Structure formats: C-alpha cells, structure tokens
Structure 1
Amino acid sequence: MDAYDEGSDPRQGPARPPAEPTGPEPTGSPQAGPPQAGPDPRPAPTDPAAPAAPDAVTGPPAPGPPAEPRTGVAALSLRYQIGAAVALAVVAAGVCVHLGMTFLHVAPANTVSKKHSERIEDWIYPEFEQNWKLFAPNPLQQNIAVQVRAEILTADGRTRTTGWYDLSAEDGRAIDGNLLPSHTQQNELRRAWDFFVATHDNDNRPVGLRGALSETYLRRITALRLDRADAAGPDGTVARVQVRSRTANVPPPEWSTEEVSTTPVYRTLPWWSLPGDEGRGGVG
C-alpha cells in the first residue's frame, strides 16, 4: 500500500485540515461562518447620570460667567441691613405722624383735634405753621405793616422820642432776595400782631385771659428790635414804646375797573413802659 494512500490505518496521525479557500466565499453559502466582530466606529452611548470625565487634552471645563455683584442694601452685612431697616421704619413713622398732625391742624374742628389740640399745637408751632388765608374764599387784600417808636431816657435825665421804625419793612428787606430766609423774619412779627388783634377789641382792651400775654409778647419783640437798631444810643435807655399798624389796601390791577381806596389806616396802641432789663435790650 502506498504510504501516501489515505486509508484507515490506525497508526496514521490525525488528518490535516483541509486547506482554506483562497478566493472569496460566495455570499449566502451555507459553509460561511459568522462575520468577525471588528471595532465599532460609532461612539459608545454614555450614561447621563454618570459624571463626565475631564478631558485629558483640554483639562476641566471652563467656568461660567461671574455672578453679578450685589448692590444697595443687599450688599450690606446682616447687622447693617437690620440697622437700615430700623432707620427706615423710624423715618416712615415720623412722616406718618407729621402728616397726621398737619391734617388735624388744617382740617375743620373735630373730636380728635379738640381732644388732642394741645399736642397738635406743640407739634405744629412754630416751624410747621400752616396759613391758608391765601386759599380762603376772601384772601387778604391788604398790606399790614407794624411800626414802633420809643421814648428814650438819656444819661442827664432828659427824654426824647424817636421816629417810627417800620419793623415789617425791615423784615421784608431781609427776606427779599434771600433763598433761605429765617422763620423769625417771615413770621415772628406778623404772628405777634395777629395774636394781639385776636385778643383785643377795637379799643385795644384785652379780651379773655390771653390779652396780657399777647401784649407782653409784642412788647418784648419791639424792645429787642429797637436794641438791635441802637435806638437809645450809647448812653440812653428805652423807657417806653408805642406800637401802631399801618393798613393799606392792595391796589387793583390796571385792567380792573374796581375802585379801591389806597389811603392807609393807622391803629395806634397806648404807650407801654418797659422793665429795666427790657429797656436795655434784655428780657424782663
């Protein structure tokens, strides 16, 4: 038997596998095995819940835009925020109280204003006085000037009388052109005269319990004004003062046919003696 004869010889080694075909195997051939699995060019799906790994090339992700800085009260610390809130509450309460007091002062008399009239007047006068005569049905149509003259006692015992000092005109000159005039220049003399007229009759006699107080108030104002004007001179003393008012109607405009007398009317008060301190410019 030929040594190369492929028989059933038990001594013969295992048979060699058949040679693999060199050409492409036809598609759909039953002898074709499963296709070999190669690397998938598509990226593997990622788990959205898994943390993103930093890029080995570009490093960690770039930070986002910086937060806008806090402004106003929010920029303050907690302690200063509390202080600002307390200050704001105090200011708001003060504004509410002032508006309420002003309303009760200018409103018609009612139960609340009558019960708390003293507190309301203490709050309003003198800085927050409200004068609504300009908006009244019959607004003031007169110019009222308060004037005073003095009787001077000289060092040699003689007396002399000064001319009339127009105190209202002096206040007017001080206010004219002044952006921030004094409350005293605007209202002190005017209110003192209104107080006197309201507590006296046409014969200059006191009416009620406040008549003497209004006389004292007006007298002290005139004594201080005369001392500022040095009416007594270097060696004199103001012994008495006399006050009068000069009232003149406001002339109508040129286009009006209304006829109004512009002749002034005077109201002259009696002489008032001054205590020693008031005569030297002080307060008795």
Structure 2
Amino acid sequence: MDAAGGGGNARLGSGARPEPEAPDEADALTEPDALTEPDALPELDALPEPEVWTESDALPESDGATPAPHDPGPATGAPSEPRTGVAALSPRYQVGAALALAVVAVAVCVHIGMIFLHVAPSNTVTKKHGKAIEEWIYPEFEQNWKLFAPNPLQQNIAVQVRAQVRAGGEVRTTGWYDLSAEDGRAIDGNLLPSHVDQNLLRRSWDFFAATHGADNRPVGIRGALSETYLRRIVVLRLDRDGAAGRDGVLDSVQVRTSTTNVRPPEWSGEQISQKPVYRVLPWWSVPADEAEGAVK
C-alpha cells in the first residue's frame, strides 16, 4: 500500500491535474439559490416607462399657424448669409464707393478747417491764405457772433431803393422798393433758405456804413468800392423786379435805410419809440452797362 501510495504521489508530481472534489451534498442543500429566489427579481410593473421625446413637443402651440421649421444649427458647409451694403457690390463698384467716401471725407475736413481758420484769431496761415479762406466762406458760410455779443442787435434795418427811369425821352421816379422785406419773404417758411437772401444785401449795407461817415462821405480808401458794390446790388434787384418796365432804362438810383427799434417784451415795461428813422443817400448815376443788364 505504501508503494502504491508513493506511486500515486509520483504521478501527481509529474504534471497530472487533480480532479476536483465533489461538493458536499449537505452543503448544497443548505445554500440558497439566488437565481430562483422570487424576492430577488424586480417587479416589471414598478419600472418607469421610458419617455419618448418628439420634435413637436419642443414647438409652442399655435392657433392654426404653421410651426417654424426646426433649426438644426450651423452645419459644416452650410451657405453663408447674403452680403448687404457696400460688401454686396462687385469689386469695381466697391473701389468706386471707397473713392467717393474718401472725397467726401476730405471735403468735410477742408470745410471744417476753413471755418476754423475764419473764426480763429489772426495767425500765420490766415495772413498768407486769407483771400482763399474768404472766397471759401463768403457768402454761403459766413460766421458771426452778433447773436452772442454782450449787446446783440436791437434794431431792424431795412434797405430800400427807388430809381429814375428814362423811357421815351421822359424820366419818371418809381416808388420805394423794400429789398429787405423781399429777402424776408424769401426766407420765411423756407427750410433751406439761401445765404444770398440772408446776407448779400445786409452785408453790402454793413460794408457801406463801415466805410462812410454820418454825412455819407467815404472814409478811407474802400469807400468808393463799397458804393459801387451796393449800387450794383440794388440795380440787379430793380432789374429783377422789373422797375424799368419793358421800354425803360434805369438812369439813377437812390438808397435809404429805415431803422426801427425791436419791440421789447410786454413783461419788461420798457417804452421805446417805434417810429422809423430814415437815412437817405444821394442819387447815384447808373452806368450804361449796368443799366442794360450787362453786370450779373
């Protein structure tokens, strides 16, 4: 028996696998079977039903309106939004638009610079290019500070003119034409009034008054120039109003001003005269070229 036993051990040591031992029958009867236990299985009725999401649930209800299509979001390769404005133009027109905007920008900068130099104190630039600045400003872009002066204008000055007309060997005198009133009617109610209507006649009278004394005689070398300037303006205005008629010719003109005080507000209690004060200038002969309308 020992030899047999030794022989058996020798066979196991030679690499043969031992046979598994059979489980004890008593232990198998006492161990609970987890797969056959009814309490370990979940109840099918207690499991929640999976929620089914549909695309219509995400859209708001509407009264018969067609629901908006679902936006899947940006996708690779989707077409871009159409371009608008200058970007929608062809390259050639884009270049043209850019050049036009550049020209407008330069013009605006030049205009602002001219106005600045006009109202700025005298400096090296204004002394050298003063004539060019005045030609740019007058008469359309004139600037003054009379509204903000310590003593603003408190008088209305109307420029009036009458003429002697020669027709058929006879000379007749017209009535007074209120040129300032004509300018006022042209400005009143006009959203874009002309600076010519606002400033041309007024500036010509200011020029005359600044170069003449109270006796209407020239003071300084610019007196004769101011007379010629004012005379030509009133002659053109009379010609526009048809003062000479169809066959008449302007022989001479006479200018006067009517000055009245601005009526004070009722609450001030100030009492001032409303009677006009006239300043009458001498008669000026009209040269033949001006009388025939050659000066425009």
Q: Deviations for 1:182-232, whole angstroms, at most 9, x for unmatched residues?
A: 332222211211121122222222233322222112111211222222222
- Structure 2 distance, partners of 1:63, 1:254, is 77
- Structure 1 distance, partners of 2:197, 2:170, is 34
Judging changes above 3 Å, is the alpha-carbon distance between structure 1 residues 26 and 213 closer, same or farther for their aligned structure 2 residues?
A: farther
- Structure 2 distance, partners of 1:182, 1:100, is 22
Judging changes above 3 Å, is the alpha-carbon distance between structure 1 residues 68 and 262 closer, same or farther for their aligned structure 2 residues?
A: same
TM-score by length of 2: 0.68
1:185 matched residue in structure 2: 197
- Mapped contact 1:227–1:280 kept (Cα < 8 A): no
Q: Deviations for 1:81-140, whole angstroms, at most 9, x for unmatched residues?
A: 333333322222221111111011112333332232112111111221113211222111
- Mapped contact 2:183–2:198 kept (Cα < 8 A): yes
- Mapped contact 1:224–1:282 kept (Cα < 8 A): no
- Counterpart code for 2:117: L
Question: Alignment partner of 1:255: what SS?
Answer: helix
- Structure 2 distance, partners of 1:26, 1:164, is 144
- Structure 1 distance, partners of 2:282, 2:264, is 33
1:87 matched residue in structure 2: 100
- Structure 2 distance, partners of 1:26, 1:212, is 143
Out of 267, 276, 281, the residue aligned to residue 279 of structure 2 is: 267
**Structure 1, unpaired ranges of 5+:** 1-24, 28-61
Structural mapping, 1:3-22, within 5 Å:
none
Question: Alignment partner of 1:94: what SS?
Answer: helix
2:230 equivalent to 1:218: yes
Greater CA drift, 116-125 or 73-82: 73-82
1:16 matched residue in structure 2: none
- Mapped contact 1:153–1:238 kept (Cα < 8 A): yes
Out of 167, 192, 200, the residue aligned to residue 154 of structure 1 is: 167
2:183 matched residue in structure 1: 171
RMSD value over aligned CA atoms? 2.4
Give the Å deviation of 1:247. 0.9
- Counterpart code for 1:84: A
- Mapped contact 2:139–2:196 kept (Cα < 8 A): no
Out of 119, 122, 139, the residue aligned to residue 106 of structure 1 is: 119
Judging changes above 3 Å, is the alpha-carbon distance between structure 1 residues 91 and 228 closer, same or farther for their aligned structure 2 residues?
A: closer
1:232 matched residue in structure 2: 244
State the identity as a percent: 75
Out of 66, 85, 91, the residue aligned to residue 79 of structure 2 is: 66
Name the count of aligned residue pairs: 225
Judging changes above 3 Å, is the alpha-carbon distance between structure 1 residues 73 and 160 closer, same or farther for their aligned structure 2 residues?
A: closer
- Mapped contact 1:239–1:273 kept (Cα < 8 A): yes
- Mapped contact 1:104–1:120 kept (Cα < 8 A): yes
**Structure 2, unpaired ranges of 5+:** 1-18, 22-74
Give the Å deviation of 1:145. 0.2
Judging changes above 3 Å, is the alpha-carbon distance between structure 1 residues 79 and 279 closer, same or farther for their aligned structure 2 residues?
A: closer
- Mapped contact 2:140–2:196 kept (Cα < 8 A): no
TM-score by length of 1: 0.71
- Structure 2 distance, partners of 1:259, 1:151, is 39
- Mapped contact 1:227–1:281 kept (Cα < 8 A): yes
2:262 equivalent to 1:250: yes
- Structure 2 distance, partners of 1:212, 1:173, is 31
2:110 equivalent to 1:97: yes
- Structure 2 distance, partners of 1:82, 1:173, is 46
